[in-house]
Amino acid sequence: MIENKPLVSVNQLTRFYGKVCAIKDISFDINRGEILGLLGPNGAGKSTTMQIISGVLSANSGSVSIAGYDIQDSPKLAKKNIGFLPEQLPLYYDLTIDEYLLYAAKLRGIKKINLKEKIDICKERCGLENLGLRLINNLSKGYKQRVGLAQAIVHTPSIIILDEPTSGLDPKQILEIRELMHELSKNHSIILSTHILSEVETICDRVLIINKGNIVLDQHLKDLLSNKNSLEKTFLHLTENNKKINE
């Protein structure tokens, strides 16, 4: 019964910033073990959507439920299942990696008995094994990104929300992060936003393209690519078209 239910279900979300409509009537579901790529031009509403799903913002109308719990009605239960990596890394630069991850893990409500074990596993996964005592401020951008990722997965949430996890990284680091996401997808569902189309092609199962606050495409990558369309063409076509309509 539970197996068949979608892990995350997003229903007709609408959100305004003042009079500007950021997203309009967005609905989609995410199943267990799925990697969903969220694409769209700048200002399309990707970050807004992700922030609403993770409970950082609330929607003006519509609902989000995670593992059966509504994020507005029972936020504590719903949020236990979420790991969120915002675009701006949520790091305390004056703490060491160990201190930071310990705080993040406790915030996410991990029980004391599992604490050390979970943090160790998470550090190993993110390639931070021997850096525990380093101050976050002194890390390179790539390692800061890893710490950001580590705080999102430390409590092994069922859904991981990553807002542009590979921005500002060098090609080698991007590859490593991609590999990590691949690894994570065995046990977790992932929502991932990015500007890099090839990234979606290599790791995502499903693509969602948002333009001007509307979903313009929601398709499995396999189906999309089997129609002899490249993702790039489809993306440009859909976002271009919309521009003309709006103008």
Partner 1 sequence: MSNNIILISGNELRRLFKSPLAWIIFSVVQFLVAIFFYMPLMTYLQPGSVASGLTNNVVSTMYGFAAYIILIISPLLTMRLFAEERQLGTIKLLFSSPISITELVLGKFFGIVIFYILIIAMITLMPASLLFGATLDLGQILSSIIGLCLLATTLVAIGLFFSSLTTSPVIAAVNTYGILFLLLLIKIAASNSSERTAEIFTYLSLDKHYDNFLNGIFNTIDLFYYITLSVFFICLCIWRLDIERVYK
Residues of this chain that interact with partner 1 (CB under 8 A) are 17, 51, 54-58, 60, 75-77, 79-80, 82, 84, 86, 88-95, 99, 103-104, 106-109, 151
- Minimum gap (Å) between residue 50 Cβ and partner 1: 10
**Residue nearer to partner 1 on the CB measure, 43 or 237:** 43
Strands 189-193 and 35-39: parallel
- Minimum gap (Å) between residue 85 Cβ and partner 1: 9
| Residue 224 to residue 228: CA distance in whole angstroms | 8
How far separated are the first and last CA of the chain, in Å rounded? 47
The number of C-alpha atoms within 13 Å of 58 and in the hemisphere containing its C-beta is 7
- Minimum gap (Å) between residue 246 Cβ and partner 1: 24
Q: Which of 73, 47, 54 is nearest to 10 (CA)?
A: 54
- Minimum gap (Å) between residue 140 Cβ and partner 1: 18
**Residue nearer to partner 1 on the CB measure, 40 or 157:** 157
**Residue nearer to partner 1 on the CB measure, 54 or 234:** 54
**Residue nearer to partner 1 on the CB measure, 71 or 207:** 71
Q: Is 113 exposed, middle or buried (0-12, 13-18, 19+ CB in 10 A)?
A: exposed
